[in-house]
Structure 1
Amino acid sequence: MMIRPYTDADEQGWLRCRVLAFLNTAYFDNVLQKKEHYENPSIELVAIENNQIVGLIDIEYETEPQTICTAHDTVGGMIWHIAVHPDYQHRHIGEELIKAALKQAKALKLTYLEAWTRDNAKIQKWYEKMRFVQTYTYHHLYFDEPALEKYDLSVPAQVRPVTMFAHYTGSDPDVLNRASRRHLCMCYVKRII
């Protein structure tokens, strides 16, 4: 297995790897048709085996504090994507991607990495094994049409919302129980320096 920088020629393999890696997770419906390009500098790495992308990590990083990451007064990097193809999981590819990214982050004098994930005990344990610390949580809520009828949504008469996705920072059980689907979204931070 080799880790190297992402190139534009990798896009289809990157997309395939990410879709398959997310398929059986709480992010199963977060499908991209094009790889994101970042406004700020980034660390973008891919893991290659048998001429195939089997892992990836994308970190967009700050040149000024609190411009990408959420809560620190020093510069950090946001892990937007980290994924390992399901046929290659449990072979330490994710760990190797983090190590390679950390090496670059240290050289750039970033002081921490930040990552967000949804409620998945296996992923939470993996971040903790990588020495990330959970710092903040909120909910991702999905509402279908019957649940939406309970809310007064200010939309024109010709618009009929059928589904809705929302970030919820409260703790009211009534709001949480109205959602058709809900996930606890967690922030993990790893100090570098």
Structure 2
Amino acid sequence: MTSPIQKLDGISVRPYRDSDEKNWVNCRVQAFLDSSYRDDVQQYREEYENPSVRIVAVRDQDQQILGFLDVEYCSEQGPETVEKHGVLWHLGVLPDYRRLKLAHTMWEVAKLELKAAGVSRVQAWTQDDTAANLWYLRQGWKVTKSYLNVYVRGLMGEFPLKDLLPGIDRVWKYGHIRNFNFEAPLEYRSELEKLSYRMHEVRVYEIEL
């Protein structure tokens, strides 16, 4: 199914095209720079194993991508029924265009295609960026799970790795560990704040279509 094109003031929301790849990658980098995902940089546009809905918002005059939204979906076999569920992998808008409701419009266009494909539920992961979390809540998404994404740097046998990995007092077989990233339950927040240089709360959202 081809998603309908939605027209805004000099901007169109339409399906992603293969020719958009370089433009899409550049937009993703710029859209994430002021977020907690600022180091999640990639130089390619991944392909999905399952069907997907890929939407972009583009400036009409030059087809510059201003925002993007990707949802991959598949079938999940239950005891009596088959439910199609999706995961929203990518969502972002360039800073100068964030008050034009582009994310909302892309999501509305995506929902039409998802519903037509029989998708009934979508999940999304985000971190503790205030604007992003407010957007999900305003669209009707519900938080189903939260945990910590913790970043630590140091050397084996020294603080803070010595506190996190007791019993390790020598150099690792392959050399020094410089960065250590792991997930942890929320109840360890105060303890881990003393050991990490960066920490985010990850929230899992879900919505029924």
| Fold similarity call, TM over 0.5 | yes
2:116 to 104, 107, 120: 107
Question: How much identity, in percent, do the aligned residues show?
Answer: 30
3-state DSSP of counterpart to 2:92: strand
2:191 maps to a residue whose letter is D
Count of matched residue positions in the alignment of Structure 1 and Structure 2: 186
> Secondary structure of 1:61's partner?
strand
Instruction: Provide closer, same or farther for how the CA distance between residues 95 and 170 of structure 1 changes in structure 2, counting only shifts above 3 A.
Output: closer
1:185 aligns with 2:185: no
Deviations 1:93-146 (A, max 9, x none): 000000001001100111111111100222111111111111110111100114
1:168 matched to 2:184? The reply is: yes
Q: TM-score normalized by structure 2?
A: 0.82
Counterparts of 1:34 and 1:137, CA distance in 2: 29
In the alignment, what sits opposite 1:3? 13
Aligned letter for 1:62? C
Task: Describe the SS at the equivalent of 2:163.
Answer: coil
Deviations 1:3-52 (A, max 9, x none): 22212211111111111111111111111110111111111111111320
Alpha carbons of structure 1 residues 2 and 136: separation in structure 2 relative to 1, 3 Å? same
Q: 2:65 & 2:77 partners in 1: Cα distance?
A: 32
Confirm or deny that 1:63 pairs with 2:75. yes
What are the within-5 Å matches in structure 2 for residues 7-156 of structure 1?
A: 7-49=17-59, 50=61, 51-65=63-77, 74-145=83-154, 146-152=159-165, 156=172
Supply the distance in 1 between the matched residues of 2:102 and 2:153 (Cα, whole angstroms): 37
The residue type paired with residue 56 of structure 1 is: F
Equivalent position amino acid for 1:171 in 2: E
The alignment yields a C-alpha RMSD, in angstroms, of: 2.0
Q: Which of structures 1 and 2 has the bigger CA Rg?
A: 2
Of residues 36-45 and 146-155 in structure 1, the stretch that sits farther from structure 2 once superposed is 146-155
Gaps of 5+ in 1: 67-72
C-alpha contact 2:75 2:83 (8 A) present in aligned 1: no
Structure 2 CA distance for aligned equivalents of residues 82 and 174 of structure 1: 32
How far residue 180 of structure 1 moved from its aligned partner, in angstroms, is 1.5
CA distance in 2, matches of 1:90, 1:129: 14
8 Å CA contact 1:140–1:167 kept in 2: the answer is yes
1:2 to partner: Cα distance: 1.3
